[in-house]
């Protein structure tokens, strides 16, 4: 059975959504990153980068959420757009991987978790995260889904981060992205999304961002001190 290493953050949520939508049987294995479990040797053998999600499918190991989505979609033949739209499909998949995710992650860090206020960094990442969500919002004007009016892994990919818009950009941020919110709300209402989101509640992940969690999550602080 496929093994799915996860926590409740945006990137694992996308993979959980696909697994539930596709009906693939899987074993959900929690990795508590605030307790440093991502650095256990057994997990690093699966993902040397020490991040979730990752999957082990028989003899195949895949890490990075977008790589996993693409692998699973091609394995099952599900939630892929028409072949003639592959260029567009890959472009949007990589747009989320290289833009939406990284800028959103940095925006969250400097808004919520940085041990010191860095106004320049906060302003830059808030702007870039908002700009990327704006690109998605504009693309979705007059479209139900990201590609070919067909629900695909690109929509799942977008949903994983879109559900965090208020946490990333602040309360009221949805007002600037009505088309993106419509897509988010439609996906969030799907039964598979409810199950995917409930996965984290089956396990007692560490909630506190205390000194222990910061030591595991923000390794650069220890490196700076050394």
What single DSSP character describes residue 124?
A: H
Question: Could you check whether 2-78+194-225 and 83-189 share the same CATH topology?
Answer: no
Q: Could you give the CA distance from residue 11 to residue 5 in angstroms, rounded to a whole number?
A: 11
- pLDDT reading at 225 higher than 90: no
pLDDT classification of 219: cutoffs 50, 70, 90: confident
- pLDDT reading at 64 higher than 90: yes
pLDDT tens column, 186-214? 999 999 999 999 999 999 999 999 989 99
Q: Could you give the CA distance from residue 193 to residue 62 in angstroms, rounded to a whole number?
A: 22
pTM: 0.95
State the angle between helix axes of 119-139 and 101-108 in degrees (0 to 180), rounded to the nearest 10.
Answer: 140
Cα-based distances in Å from 14 to 10, 111, 156, 172, 199: 7, 23, 6, 24, 12
pLDDT tens column, 146-181? 999 999 999 999 999 999 999 999 999 999 999 999
Q: Could you give the CA distance from residue 132 to residue 98 in angstroms, rounded to a whole number?
A: 10
Stretch 121-148: mean pLDDT, rounded? 98
pLDDT of residue 221: 72
CATH 3.40.190.100, domain 2-78+194-225, yes or no: no
Q: Could you give the CA distance from residue 152 to residue 89 in angstroms, rounded to a whole number?
A: 9
The domain locations on the chain are 2-78+194-225, 83-189
Structurally, at CATH architecture level, domain 83-189 sits in Up-down Bundle (1.20)
């Amino acid at each position: 059975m496929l093994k799915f290493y996860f926590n409740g953050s945006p990137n694992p949520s996308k993979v959980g959504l696909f697994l539930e939508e596709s009906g693939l049987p899987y074993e959900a294995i929690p990795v508590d990153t605030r307790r440093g479990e991502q650095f256990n040797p057994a997990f690093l053998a699966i993902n040397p980068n020490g991040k979730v999600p990752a999957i082990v499918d028989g003899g195949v190991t895949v890490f990075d959420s977008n790589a996993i989505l693409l692998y699973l979609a091609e394995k099952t033949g599900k939630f892929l757009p028409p072949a003639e739209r592959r260029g567009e499909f890959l472009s949007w998949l990589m747009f989320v991987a290289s833009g939406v995710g990284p800028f959103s992650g940095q925006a969250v860090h400097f808004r919520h978790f940085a041990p010191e206020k860095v106004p320049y960094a906060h302003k830059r990442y808030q702007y870039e995260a908002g700009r990327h969500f704006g690109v998605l919002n504009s693309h979705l004007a007059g479209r139900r889904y990201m590609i070919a009016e067909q629900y695909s892994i690109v929509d799942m990919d977008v949903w994983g981060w879109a559900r965090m818009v208020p946490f990333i950009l602040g309360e009221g941020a949805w007002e600037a992205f009505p088309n993106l919110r419509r897509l988010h709300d439609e996906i969030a209402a799907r039964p598979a999304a409810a199950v995917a989101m409930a996965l984290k509640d089956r396990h007692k992940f560490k909630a506190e961002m205390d000194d222990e969690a910061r030591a595991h999550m923000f390794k650069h602080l220890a490196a700076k001190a050394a």
